Homo-oligomer: A and B are copies of this chain.
Amino acid sequence: MNKSIKAVVYERHGNPPDVLRVETQPWPKAATGEAVVQMLAAPINPADLNQIDGKYPVRFPLPATPGFEGAGLVVDVGKNVKDLAVGALVILPHNLGTWREAAAVKAGELVTVPPAIDPVHAAMLKINPMTAWRLLHDYVDLKKGDWLIQNAANSAAGSAVIQIAHELGYKTINVVRRAELIDELRSKGGDVVFVDGEDLREEVKSATDDAPIRLGLNAVGGDSALCLANCLAPGSTLVTFGAMSLQPLKIPNGLLIFKDLRFRGIWINKWYDNATTEERMDAFRPLFEMAKRGLLKAKVEKAYPLNDAKAAVVDAARGKRSGKIIFKFE
């Protein structure tokens, strides 16, 4: 076992490739109640880049290590650690910084993953699939056969929404910006896929036989959010979890007053902060079952070693990618 680890660190907020460096740190030790986890994979999410840039609403004390998400192997456990064995594959909590070769973590904050799930796959279940799970459970009481609508349907979260909704028997209307995504999303289980446009509402009406759509999921903001809202039935809810357009929602007063639409948002890290272990596991269990069957898999465009962190964050910040940029550890 190494005597030291490498970790990505920033000492001031700013443009990620400018402020990140890779440093050597002592190999972590497991205090009482802790486990040492050797990292296997950690993705670069947009929230990580915002956090390094200082644009994220919560800042880690500096110097800090980025990385809200990741998975690794338990290689050591301290005293008073139960239900966690050396060799277990685990998902890490979001408040620690996953872009490091190893970390000492409170055992209660680790989520054990069934060994049948690949570590790269496990490393990306915590944010997008869990967001999708919560979006489909916490806002509107859906029943089998009910419709929902989402934009940015080809995002990692959108793809998880399609698969989980399909699993639960809900039907999805998926809005994307490029026609070439239609077949792919249909093959994942998307019931209807539309390219965003002015006649969206009419297209949706006709595809759903004018069924009420009671849940909208918005990862874009701006005009796209309003298009979704206009497709919803009275009394429905639009939940915002991303803001790809960087544009605010523009909500005509009548949608609130006369149509009784409800506008909510979700911040998955906050959900984790408030959730009990039981609440987390109630959601992770079915997500793991789906993952075992090869579902909820985020596409990876490229894996970098931790030493190439600067190149990796530049790559992750590019607009058009075919999949996630991740760190893979040796």
Contacts and interface: CB of A to CB of B under 8 A. Distances in A.
B249 A251 contact: yes
Interface string A233-266: 0000000111100001111111111111111111
Interface size class of A (residues with CB under 8 A): 20 to 34
Contacts of A242: 253, 257
A249 to B, nearest CB: 4
A270 interface: yes
A270 B264 CA distance: 22
A263 B250 CA distance: 12
A221 interface: yes
B260 A262 contact: no
Contact of A266 (B251, B257, B266): B257
A253 B240 contact: yes
Nearest to A268: B257
B253 A250 contact: no
Contacts of A262: 262-264
Nearest to A55: B254
B248 A251 contact: yes
A267 B263 contact: no
Q: Which of A251, A252, A256, A261 has the most CB of B within 10 A?
A: A256
Tell which of A221, A251, A262 has the most Cβ of chain B within 10 Å: A251
Contact of A243 (B250, B253, B263, B266): B253
Q: For chain A, what secondary structure do more than half of its interface residues adopt (helix, strand, loop), or is it mixed? A: mixed
Contacts of A240: 253, 256-257
Contact of A267 (B243, B258, B267): B258
A266 B234 CA distance: 12
Contacts of A259: 265
A250 B221 CA distance: 11
A248 B252 contact: yes
A57 interface: yes
Contacts of A257: 240-243, 265-267
Contact of A253 (B221, B251, B256, B261): B221
B243 A249 contact: no
A270 B263 contact: no
A328 to B, nearest CB: 29
Q: Which 6 A-B pairs have the closest CB atoms?
A: A256-B265, A243-B253, A263-B263, A240-B256, A257-B265, A249-B251
8 contacts: A248-B250, A249-B253, A251-B251, A255-B265, A257-B267, A259-B265, A260-B270, A263-B264
Given A240-B257, A256-B265, A259-B265, 14 more contacts: A57-B258, A240-B253, A241-B257, A242-B253, A243-B253, A248-B251, A248-B253, A251-B251, A255-B265, A256-B263, A257-B265, A257-B266, A257-B267, A260-B266
